[in-house]
Amino acid sequence: MTARWAVALLAAALVSPPAGTPVHGGDRSPLPVCRVSTGRPLVAVTFDDGPFPAATAAARRLLRRHDARATFFLVGGRAFRRPGVVAALRRDGMEVANHTWSHVVPAGLGPDRSAAEIRRTADAIAGAEALFRPPQGRIDLDGLRAAREAGLLTVVWSVAVERYTSGRPVDEAARELLARIGPGDIVLAHERAPGTLAAIERLLDGLASRGLRAVSVTELLDAGRPVRALPVDGPLTSGNARYVCPG
Ligand SMILES: [Zn+2]
């Protein structure tokens, strides 16, 4: 762990943000946020890869029934073609954010293509929250810089729903998920993945019975201190793309 923190400090020294960049929580680290340290009973549920006409509408209705809010990391090219689905998310108070234009993993793309993927999506989803999630959670220094220069905070996750639901009975998956989730977690889900919405329904019921509330990533960030993911493969450099969420 000591070595990991040394890596984080080195990474922070490698990248200084441009002047005037908005930074959540006053934390200027370039590393992705993977959860939030908070004493408040809040969890952020996030959905990646939409908007899809049927699955995104089903997720939206499910959240509304449970009086929950969530963040949808949208693929720019899809959002551009389906503005009605994006508008419906917004009408229901959901947060929408940036998940690249073409769902390409930004690691290894280089600074220009990384920036283009991010900026084109930001233009297509006017009014999107200043949050970016790289596909597969993989991003290198060029991608992190491109997000930061576009004024976006890079957010990954601390719990992945499909790791539990894949090929398993939904009740069993939901029980294990619930046991794993606590205040400040950022939960990754894909509304179109088989079994995911059924598991999220049980998860939302279980969270409510434990007094936990599902909110957007921005609401969660406002309630505590961001925890940064740490690079798996040593010091953060171009090409280094995988992270682990500490704690
Ligand atoms: Zn994705």
pLDDT at residue 7 is higher than 70 = no
- In the chain, which residue ranges form alpha helices assigned H by DSSP? 2-14, 53-65, 76-81, 83-91, 111-124, 141-149, 161-165, 170-180, 196-209, 217-222
Q: Region 3-15: what's the mean pLDDT? A: 44
CA of 3 to the centre of ligand 1 (A): 30
d(CA 8, CA 84) in angstroms, rounded, equals 41
| Residue positions annotated with a catalytic role | 48, 190
Percent of the chain whose predicted confidence (pLDDT) is above 70: 89
Residue type at position 215: V
Q: What is the pLDDT of residue 27?
A: 57
CA of 236 to the centre of ligand 1 (A): 22
pTM summary value: 0.89
DSSP 23: -
Is residue 65 classed exposed, middle or buried when 0-12, 13-18 and 19+ CB atoms within 10 A define those classes?
exposed
Going by C-alpha positions, the residue among 68, 116, 76, 67 that lies closest to residue 96 is 76
What does the pLDDT look like over 36-70, one tens digit per residue? Answer: 999 999 999 999 999 999 999 999 999 999 999 99
Contact between 12 and 23 (Cβ < 8 Å) = no
Q: Per-residue confidence at 122, pLDDT binned at 50, 70, 90?
A: very high
Q: Per-residue confidence at 113, pLDDT binned at 50, 70, 90?
A: very high
For the segment(s) 31-232, the CATH number from 1.10.540.10, 3.20.20.370, 3.40.228.10, 1.25.40.10 is: 3.20.20.370
CA of 211 to the centre of ligand 1 (A): 30
